[in-house]
Amino acid sequence: MMKVLLVLLLNLPLMAQDNILVLLGLDESHLVSVDTHRLSAQTAQAFANMQAAAATDGIDLQLLSAFRSFERQQQIFEEKFRRYRAEGLSPTQAIDRILQYSTIPGTSRHHWGTDIDITDGNAPKQKHVLVPSKFHNDGPFVPLHQWMQANAYRFGFYLVYTRDSKRTGFAYEPWHYTYLPEAKEYLAQYTPRMAFAYFKAVGVKGGAYIDRDFWDAYYTQFVLGVNSELIK
């Protein structure tokens, strides 16, 4: 059904169809299970290798988040839109607020099965893990961060939302890594036109306030607002 809709909507050449479904979080056929999460088979293998190496250095690499479908991202977006509207924000204010921490469905790198949010199972238990300061100074995730900075690239993994004042888009996320050999291909194939067309066709709540100009600016600032190593 989704595939038929997309093909009709975008008038796509046959060969382009499969990756477009992956890019939008609509295809799960390339995924394998890793604990309670899912990753592309290639990314899962690279992660397993990295996890084994980290373990020998006393770091227990654990996934907090991996693949996320379009549908799941839509639920997150719509739930936040409803909540912020109920708190009295205008529709555009609500969307700006959502974009502090969440993506527009169809634009998340977690749709691809190549991106992971990680923690260290050997660190003291934390109620909140996704706090940048906990990865620096004397924070509980300093050993994890230092190990990843020194070693992740050997396994193909890179930070996406770096601490770089020249970078635009999402805030610094020291827990979010991407498997570059695969993700690089996906980012190169990603076009804002197709994602926008699908987003509009689905009818996401709040989506009426996102027009083509907004989408294009978001694409430049957020989707392309990543570690410069990722878009070379």
Interface ranges with Zn ion (CB under 5 A): 117, 176
Pick 78 or 117: Cβ nearer Zn ion: 117
The answer to whether the beta carbons of residues 119 and 62 sit under 8 Å apart is yes
- Beta-carbon contacts of residue 215 (< 8 Å; ≥ 6 apart): 104, 192, 195, 196, 199
Q: Which residue, 147, 115, 144, 114, is CA-closest to 132?
A: 144
CA dist 105 and 205 (Å) reads 11
Residue with tokens 């100074």: 137
Q: Look up residue 171 and give its DSSP letter.
A: P
* CB-based closest residue to Zn ion: 176
Pick 68 or 184: Cβ nearer Zn ion: 68
CB of 65 to Zn ion, least distance (A): 6
Sign of CA dihedral 55, 174, 189, 71: positive
In the chain, the amino acid numbered 114 is T
Backbone region of residue 56 per phi and psi (left: phi > 0; alpha: psi in -120 to 50; beta: other values) = alpha
Pick 75 or 90: Cβ nearer Zn ion: 75
CB of 203 to Zn ion, least distance (A): 26
CB of 213 to Zn ion, least distance (A): 27
Pick 134 or 176: Cβ nearer Zn ion: 176
CB of 173 to Zn ion, least distance (A): 6
Pick 167 or 176: Cβ nearer Zn ion: 176
CB of 201 to Zn ion, least distance (A): 26
